[in-house]
């Protein structure tokens, strides 16, 4: 698979939903496959909260492949023998695209808290500007899970003519109080950690040592990505073999798992980016600027294929079904909804690809 990572620099201002301006800015993106001369075979993939532009494939030094490698590649559901796939790193992230730890031009110091609050709409607007720069004005599909699904829906509403098909997975039209509450725990844990230093932490030190508050917040968030059944099946009441049952700080396997993932995560994802992106997720509401969700969805002319998962606690199937029902109310005939039978939880869109890859293949073939 032909795999490339590229950076596009923009000097024109990016006008944000908040009324603020970001300039200049960079967008890092990754491409897979070969672009046809008439640019008619593009599929856009949008990443989730802690994802990046590296959605598939491996570079020479990579330990593991991109986060959706099971879905993207030669002969896979998103077939790079047919499609030219693009995945961009969103504004506000920490993997090369301009974010709070980028230098605030013209200084050589990071933005930190002076970085503007960004929204899902801003992330999508920046991507749309990138695609225009690349001469890509229409694509076969936009697909994404979780926050990536939010972006896919935003593309459909804000840029109706851009995509033929929109495939949002495990997402919602407006972030619920339940999801905001989990984000609050993570955000509070980060800002109250003394080593966070009110956003003026040493970036290199955090990458080496991590941040305890962020690790704790990630543990709480990780619970929302799973389900009661999946955690019980994976861990049950199994205790660490080297710990005594009556040792005060002895651990169950589930505790050890959360610790391991939480502390590792705090070394590779930036805490300020986490604050900014969770803020974007919290304020996400597809109907903002419209009288109702119904009015927002009336903008859509693309075919919409909605995929949800049973036992997704973060973005329940009922929230995606509401989108589908509303599309039906306004007479949209080019929409479908499928609930995947899964006990895994929200992260099923990343780990149970075998349960929906054939659906994606069919959707892209139609």
Does residue 312 carry a catalytic annotation? Answer: yes
Question: Tens-digit pLDDT profile for the chain (366 aa)?
Answer: 789 999 999 999 999 999 999 999 999 999 999 999 999 999 999 999 999 999 999 988 888 999 999 999 999 999 999 999 999 999 999 999 999 999 999 999 999 999 999 999 999 999 999 999 999 999 999 999 999 999 999 999 999 999 999 999 999 999 999 999 999 999 999 999 999 999 999 999 999 999 999 999 999 999 999 999 999 999 999 998 888 888 988 899 999 999 999 999 999 999 999 999 999 999 999 999 999 999 999 999 999 999 999 999 999 999 999 999 999 999 877 899 999 999 999 999 999 999 999 999 999 997
The CATH code of the domain that includes 255 is 1.10.1740.110
pLDDT at residue 334, rounded to an integer: 86
pLDDT at residue 331, rounded to an integer: 85
pLDDT at residue 61, rounded to an integer: 84
Write the CB contacts of 205 (distance below 8 Å, at least 6 apart in sequence): none
Kindly name the residue from 122, 273, 346, 347 that is annotated as catalytic: 346
DSSP for 199-258 reads: GT--HHHHHHH--HHHHHHHHHHHHHHS-HHHHHHHTTT-B-TTS-TTSTT--BHHHHHH
Question: Do 134 and 44 share a structural domain?
Answer: yes
The CATH code of the domain that includes 103 is 3.40.50.1820
Range of the domain at 18: 3-175+285-365
Kindly name the residue from 102, 146, 308, 317 that is annotated as catalytic: 146
Residue 103 parent element (H or E): none
Question: Do 309 and 165 share a structural domain?
Answer: yes
Question: Do 165 and 212 share a structural domain?
Answer: no
Write the CB contacts of 317 (distance below 8 Å, at least 6 apart in sequence): 308, 309, 310, 339
Domain C-terminal end among 236, 260, 280: 280
pLDDT at residue 1, rounded to an integer: 79
Q: Residues for the chain: how many in total?
A: 366
Question: Do 144 and 23 share a structural domain?
Answer: yes
Kindly name the residue from 79, 285, 312, 347 that is annotated as catalytic: 312
Domain C-terminal end among 261, 280, 299: 280
Does residue 346 carry a catalytic annotation? Answer: yes
Question: Do 48 and 126 share a structural domain?
Answer: yes
Q: Which whole-number Å values give the CA distances from 156 to 181, 188, 297, 342, 355, in the listed order?
A: 28, 33, 8, 27, 25
| Confidence (pTM) | 0.97
Tokens found for residue 359 = 């659906």
pLDDT at residue 241, rounded to an integer: 86
């Amino acid at each position: 698979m032909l795999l490339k990572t590229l950076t596009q620099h923009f000097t024109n201002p990016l006008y944000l939903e908040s009324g603020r301006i970001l300039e200049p800015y960079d967008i890092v993106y990754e491409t897979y496959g070969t672009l046809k001369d008439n640019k008619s075979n593009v599929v856009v993939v949008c990443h989730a909260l802690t994802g990046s532009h590296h959605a598939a494939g491996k570079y020479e030094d990579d330990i593991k492949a991109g986060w959706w490698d099971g879905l993207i590649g030669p002969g896979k559901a998103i077939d790079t023998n047919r499609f030219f796939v693009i995945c961009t790193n969103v504004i506000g992230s920490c993997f090369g695209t301009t974010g709070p730890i980028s230098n605030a031009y013209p200084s050589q110091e990071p933005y930190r808290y002076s970085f503007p609050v960004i929204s899902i709409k801003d992330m999508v607007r920046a991507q749309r500007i990138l695609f225009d720069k690349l001469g890509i004005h229409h694509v076969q599909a936009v697909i994404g899970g979780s926050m990536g699904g939010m972006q896919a829906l935003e593309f459909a509403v804000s840029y109706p003519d851009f995509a033929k098909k929109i495939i949002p997975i495990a997402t919602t039209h407006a972030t619920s109080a339940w999801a905001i509450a989990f984000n609050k725990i993570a955000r509070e844990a980060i800002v109250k950690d003394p080593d966070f230093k009110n956003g003026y932490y040493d970036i290199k030190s955090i990458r080496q040592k991590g941040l305890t508050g962020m690790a704790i917040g990630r543990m709480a968030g990780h619970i929302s990505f799973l389900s009661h059944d999946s955690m019980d099946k994976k861990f049950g009441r199994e205790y660490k073999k080297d710990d005594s049952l009556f040792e005060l700080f002895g651990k169950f396997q589930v505790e050890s798992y959360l610790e391991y993932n939480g502390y590792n995560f705090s070394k590779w994802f930036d805490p300020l980016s986490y604050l900014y992106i969770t803020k974007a997720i919290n304020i996400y509401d597809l109907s903002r600027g419209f009288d109702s969700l119904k009015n927002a969805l009336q903008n859509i002319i693309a075919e919409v294929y909605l995929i949800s998962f049973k036992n997704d606690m973060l973005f329940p199937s009922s929230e995606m079904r509401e989108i589908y029902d509303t599309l039906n109310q306004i007479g949209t005939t080019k929409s479908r909804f499928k609930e995947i039978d899964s006990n895994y939880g929200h992260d099923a869109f990343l780990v149970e690809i075998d349960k929906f890859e054939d659906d994606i293949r069919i959707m892209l073939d139609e």
